[in-house]
Amino acid sequence: MARLGKARALTGHRDWGRDRKARTRWLIEYGGLVAKAGLADRLQDDRATFYGALLMLRDLLDGAGADMPADLKLRWRRRGLRAFDADAAAKAEAKSKGGSREAGTEGEAPMPSG
């Protein structure tokens, strides 16, 4: 019985570690999107202003604006996809011309440029 309890504890610890790694990766990816969009630079790295903007964004998604949340999400998604495509095209063109590759990892999805 003691072995079973120890095995369960180890499995739980591994699950916790895996979940923590996944959350850390998610946070890094979202932080990368913030940086790629140039928001930190445009707001002079003012975290309170950035947080306020995110809260207003949440309010819009909760229906506080004139636009329907589903319409906003669709427009934002389309713009993001266009930005991803433009970034991927620019990277492909630079690569075909022998230019240096932007910092990043091969195989990752491109991030929007702004």
Per-residue pLDDT, averaged over 96-108, amounts to 57
Higher pLDDT, 105 or 14: 14
Give every CB contact of residue 59 below 8 A, 6+ residues apart in sequence: 65
Q: By three-state DSSP, how is residue 8 classified?
A: helix
Question: Residue 79 domain-assigned?
Answer: yes
Question: Residue 41 domain-assigned?
Answer: no
104 pLDDT band (50/70/90 cuts)? very low
Question: Residue 8 domain-assigned?
Answer: no
pLDDT at residue 15 is higher than 80: yes
Question: Residue 27 domain-assigned?
Answer: no
- Total domain count for the chain? 1
As given in the structure block, the two tokens for residue 34 are: 């913030």
Summarize pLDDT for 18-56 with one digit per residue, the tens. Answer: 999 999 999 999 999 999 999 989 999 899 999 999 999
**pTM attached to this predicted model:** 0.63
Higher pLDDT, 110 or 76: 76
Question: Residue 76 domain-assigned?
Answer: yes
Summarize pLDDT for 66-89 with one digit per residue, the tens. Answer: 999 999 999 999 999 999 999 999
Question: What is d(CA 105, CA 83) in angstroms, rounded to the nearest whole number?
Answer: 18
Residue among 41, 63, 59 nearest 50 (CA): 41
pLDDT at residue 11 is higher than 80: no
Domain of residue 89 covers: 67-97
